[in-house]
Structure 1
């Protein structure tokens, strides 16, 4: 079953996420379940997510899903921008809503942390050597 595309390729927030995510060593993009996914051998970020509220799916189309460090995850979930994404939340992933006021330095830090948790020692060493 093919999933429908669930993003706008011209979205300026997606464009900025792509800029940051694809700058990591060996990072690439693919479409997974209708959303952009950024990966090396494992996915380190998704653009867009959802969660179930009272039996209904709530889409967070302009959000970033990352595999956050436990402390960062707790802080993000404690704020009003963070959410526990469907399916991935129990595995340590967190969703962060993006908007025109997004702190892109924070997004870069979240992507960096998620990349480091998934990319493997050699890629992380290449990142640190920059």
Structure 2
């Protein structure tokens, strides 16, 4: 049984996130569990999340970017109140940022997506990405 669609094309941040994510080599968008995910063989970003507040209680963050932070950046992310640990994804190291919050820095979002892509991309895809950046 398929999941219900849990996003709208005009959701805050979706168009911008889609433009950033789909610029990566072999990146594609698929709807999984009712939400857009961006993958290059493996998921490197997703749109929409929830945050577990206490057992049985979640806060929905429908315009969240879910990403895999670089280990070097994780301590700073953990100290920044803008970031949350998304339910289901969090135990695997993912973090999330609400793209509907005021003052979203799209350069920062692009950097987070880049780090996340680099965590899951194959060596061949990384070589393509680096070659495109050089030339």
Alpha-carbon distance, 1:12 to partner: 4.4
Structure 1 stretches of at least 4 aligned residues deviating more than 4 Å after TM superposition:
none
- How far does the alpha carbon of each residue in 1:64-95 deviate from its partner, in whole angstroms, 9 at most, with x for none? 00011123223223212101111111111111
- Mapped to 2, the partners of 1:36 and 1:113 lie a distance apart of 19
Residue 43 (structure 1) aligns with: 43
Residue 113 (structure 1) aligns with: 115
Q: Which runs of 5+ in 2 are unaligned?
A: none
Residue 16 (structure 1) aligns with: 16
TM score, norm. by length of structure 1: 0.94
CA contact (8 A) 2:12 2:63 kept: no
- Mapped to 1, the partners of 2:15 and 2:102 lie a distance apart of 13
Residue 65 (structure 1) aligns with: 66
CA contact (8 A) 1:76 1:96 kept: no
RMSD in angstroms over aligned alpha carbons? 1.2
- Mapped to 1, the partners of 2:9 and 2:94 lie a distance apart of 23
Alignment of 1:119-130 (within 5 A): 119-130=121-132
Alignment of 1:60-99 (within 5 A): 60-98=61-99, 99=101
Tell me how many residue pairs correspond in the alignment. 130
TM score, norm. by length of structure 2: 0.90
CA contact (8 A) 1:35 1:46 kept: yes
1:96–1:12 CA distance, 2 compared to 1 (3 A): closer
User: Which is worse superposed, 85-94 or 16-25?
Assistant: 85-94
Q: Which runs of 5+ in 1 are unaligned?
A: none
Alpha-carbon distance, 1:11 to partner: 2.2
CA contact (8 A) 1:64 1:96 kept: yes
